[in-house]
Chain A
Amino acid sequence: MTLKAGEKARIAKQFIEAIPFSKALGMNLDDIGDGFAVISMPWNEDLVGDPQSGVIHGGAVSALMDTCGGAAVMSHPDAPAGTATIDLRIDYMRPATPGQRIIARAECYNVTRSVGFVRASAFDEDEDRPVATAAGAFTVERPKEKEAKA
């Protein structure tokens, strides 16, 4: 890769903000750097999973974690852009408070030739108690011809 870190972050931001599903959920890329990403999502009535409490559906939190994890992999210095989720496990610690924004932080802590390993956590306005944590594995997609030369 010959791209500078700043350039790569700019491309990643553009790429992530063009994802239709992330857009539909109102996600915003707050920060991105070498192997980490911060993405937030506002509370929205459409995303409610429990009508009696107004709590956002776990699936929407998964979607936020998945997007954030993918962004962390794409921004890793050793990973060329382009990734897909292999597996993702989410642990739900508590319901997100209705009306509050959810912020996910993901870190791609290891990259091999083919796999990026990610940890992530999600918080609402209470920054001391996580709403959810996640662990996942993502593909690292390398261009075919480059792979042959390497």
Chain B
Amino acid sequence: MTRPRPEPVQVVKERRDRALELLVKGVPYARFMGIEFDRRGDELTAIMHYNEKLIGNPFLPALHGGAIASFLEMTSIIGLSWQTLWDDIESGRTAAEDLSPETMPRLPKTIDFTVDYLRAGLPRDAYARARVNRSGRRYASVHVEAWQDNRDKLFAQATGHFLMPSRNGNGARVG
């Protein structure tokens, strides 16, 4: 038995990075908030770059609860959508080269989202990672954690439920 020769690393990387970029760049609110995603394999880390406009209490100063909620919800939605997209691309169901802003899969819709504010958000960059605890055909449950300087000292966490986009509707399905 012969195994097919693995693709060159840069080809694989380019394909994955392009899909992620299409996913994130398509969301105007991500740009407005200064949120970017760093990819290591299939794992995403969201980064919210500090900006003065994210402040909610100018006297402390501390990040606005709404900015933190936005960051966590964005991380959850992109994380959830990325998981599906990754599976589709890696399995060959979706050809990454054919992805375009018009043919991207629809994003999941938030049903509910509960944010737990653990400590004040400092005026500096923040990081978050989402974990999809359950992803069914229609519903998904996601937990997300955010930290700043120290990974073990979370400043916020959240749990949300999402309605998954219809798989046979418009989307980047091939064949």
Contact = CB atoms under 8 A, between A and B. Distances in A.
A109 interface: no
A19 B70 contact: no
Interface string B106-127: 1101111111110010000000
Interface stretch (B6-14, B57-65, B84-92): B57-65
Contact of B69 (A48, A63, A86, A91): A63
B53 interface: yes
A70 B72 CA distance: 19
A49 B106 CA distance: 11
A48 B27 contact: yes
B73 interface: yes
Interface residues of A, number: 38
A49 B69 contact: no
Interface string B32-71: 1100000000000000000011111110001111110111
Contact of B74 (A24, A52, A57, A89): A57
Given A49-B107, A95-B109, A20 B58 contact: yes
Interface of A: 18-25, 45-52, 56-60, 62-67, 70, 84-92, 95
Q: Which A-B residue pairs are the 7 nearest by beta carbons?
A: A63-B66, A59-B70, A21-B64, A62-B69, A57-B29, A24-B53, A85-B65
24 contacts: A18-B58, A19-B58, A20-B56, A20-B58, A21-B54, A24-B54, A51-B28, A57-B70, A58-B77, A58-B110, A59-B74, A62-B66, A62-B70, A62-B115, A63-B64, A67-B56, A67-B64, A84-B117, A84-B120, A85-B115, A87-B116, A88-B115, A89-B112, A92-B111
